[in-house]
Amino acid sequence: MAIDINENNLKHGLLGLVIALVEIIRDSLNLQAVKRMEGGGLSEEEVERLGKALQDIDRAIEEVKKEQGITESVESVREGLDDVVDDVFDKLVDPQRWAEENRDV
Amino acid sequence: MSEARYIYCIANRDEEKTFGRIGLEKSPVYTIPWKEICVVVHDCVSSPYQSEDQETVRSWLVSHERVIETAWEHFGNVLPLGFDTIVKPDEENDAPENIKKWLMNDYKKLKQKFKKLEGKAEFGVQVFWYPQAIAQKLMETHQQLRNLNKEIQSKPPGMAYLYKQKLDTILRNQMEKEAQRYFEKFYKQIDEKVEEVKVEKVKKSEDEKQMIMNLSCLSPSENSKDLGDDLEKIDKKKEFSVRFTGPWPPYSFVQ
């Protein structure tokens, strides 16, 4: 299969991957922040500052995606990663399926 | 050079028949009878059909299915085989003899399969939902979601953002629960109306619809109206859409 690599789409693909990872980290940070907020250890002002900071990160990510035109690219990287994870879990949970798949190889 | 035989399906009748050039690459398709059954084949070389070109492979698959459907319409009861099932000759036997050896080996199993599939067809049932519509319904009916949504309106922006993350997580969990609930509900309905059900993987969504259930069903061909009526009731609901296909030859129920 011929893969057409040029400087442009290599950068594009790499940037898509990087932003996808940044989004995953952002999601994790958001989860942590909500937990801390619910935990009650933060003052109202601290919660407000935390929320705003995360919101700013979110907006920055959306801007980068728009400016670079990589929104679909990022989406497809994340879908691809989801598929890989699903696949691994499926096989862990159902070893029979894994055995069946490898029998015919 | 055409020492091997490409096998499409096995039919429950010992008829000598030619179907014409409907096979892969326009190969002439005919039957090899044995005892009271026959095998639908075309002559080929001893290597599998392989190609890097998607269009070529697609046209082969279409031919493969078309031959099986033609045979199914003619014979009524056939056991479809997978793409690229080829029987080769060896030092002792030619290909037709090897086919007969194989039939002899599996004879009992084949007759059992024929008995099971007599008068039955395969139907495909795919159920989609509209995630937007479902999410909206949840936001209106689910207590915790309604409360959160109200609170967000009155909070300063940073807090509102965090509350929204929380709401999104809960909404996502509820959607998963709903998908599971509807899957079980529809599965049960369908299972009661058909003889056998196979759960297939759902396909990724292209648009605002999302597939939540993909089933292959084995059922007597006459029952399709009954099943169709049930599925129509689901399709009528505005949050759902159903794709009902068939009758097909029983591809998924041969193993």
Question: What DSSP string runs through B215-240?
Answer: EEEEEEGGGHHHHHHHHHHHHHSTTE
CA distance B209 to B217: 22
Whether A7 maps to a domain, the answer reads no
In a domain, A47, yes or no: yes
Shared domain check, A85 and A64: no
A-chain residues within 8 Å CB-CB of B165?
Answer: 30-31, 33-34, 54
Mean pLDDT of B111-133: 94
Q: What is the pLDDT of residue A88?
A: 84
Residues B83 and B175 in one domain: no
Same domain, A59 and A81: no
Q: How many folded domains does chain B comprise?
A: 2
User: Whole-model pTM?
Assistant: 0.80
Q: What backbone torsions phi and psi does residue B155 show, to the nearest 5 degrees?
A: -100, 155
How far apart are the CA of B93 and the nearest CA of chain A, in angstroms?
25
3 state DSSP class of B123: strand
pLDDT higher than threshold 70 for residue B123: yes
Q: Average pLDDT, stretch B35-60?
A: 95
Q: Domain residues for B142?
A: 120-253
Tell me whether strands B29-34 and B240-248 are parallel, antiparallel or unpaired. unpaired
Q: Is the pLDDT score of B118 beyond 50? A: yes
pLDDT tens digits, B128-186 = 999 999 999 999 999 999 999 999 999 999 999 999 999 999 999 999 999 999 999 99
Indicate if ipTM > 0.85: no
Give pLDDT, residue A85.
Answer: 86
Alpha helices, H only, chain B: 54-75, 95-105, 107-117, 131-141, 143-153, 157-193, 224-236
Does B82 lie at the interface with A, CB-CB under 8 angstroms? no
What is the tens place of the pLDDT at every residue in B211-230?
999 999 999 988 888 899 99
Instruction: Verify that A82 and A98 share a domain, yes or no.
Output: yes
- For chain B, what is the mean pLDDT? 94
B107/B151 same-domain check: no
**Domain end: B117, B143, B165, which one?**
B117
A76 and A51 in a common domain: no
Q: Is A56 helix (H, G, I), strand (E, B) or coil?
A: helix
The burial of B153, by beta-carbon neighbours within 10 Å (0-12 exposed, 13-18 middle, 19 or more buried), is given as exposed
Q: Is the pLDDT of residue B119 over 80?
A: yes
Question: What are residue B69's phi and psi, to 5 degrees?
Answer: -65, -40
What pLDDT is recorded for position B6?
97
- Domain total for chain A? 2
Nearest by CB to residue A54, choosing from B52, B161, B204, is B161
- Nearest-5° angle of CA B167, CA A79, CA A97? 110
